[in-house]
Amino acid sequence: MTSGISQTGPEVGEVLPNKENKYTVSKDELPLHCPMNGMSLWNSHPRVYIKMKDGQGKCPYCGAEYQLKSE
């Protein structure tokens, strides 16, 4: 029996958590949390909201860095 969750690779449109170390985000994605929407959660950490200071933020769990796009 399968659960419908791929544990061998990403589904189409899915972002692998902790694959990248730096992400550029837009104002539309605020408030920002890590893992972000579209990331597979089965092998990641609990959702935590990222505090953005001067357009930058960092996840305390995985160390992913977030940069707000300049418009």
The pLDDT score that the predictor gives to residue 16 is: 57
Average pLDDT over residues 17-21: 62
Number of domains in the chain: 1
- Residue 48 within any structural domain of the chain: yes
The pLDDT score that the predictor gives to residue 53 is: 95
- Residue 5 within any structural domain of the chain: no
22-62 confidence digits (pLDDT tens): 899 999 999 999 988 777 665 678 899 999 999 999 999 98
- Residue 55 within any structural domain of the chain: yes
- Residue 16 within any structural domain of the chain: no
Q: Omega of the bond prior to 60 within 30 degrees of 0, cis?
A: no
Length of the chain: 71
- Residue 58 within any structural domain of the chain: yes
- Residue 35 within any structural domain of the chain: yes
Q: Which domain holds residue 59?
A: 22-68
pLDDT at 63 over 70: yes
- Residue 61 within any structural domain of the chain: yes
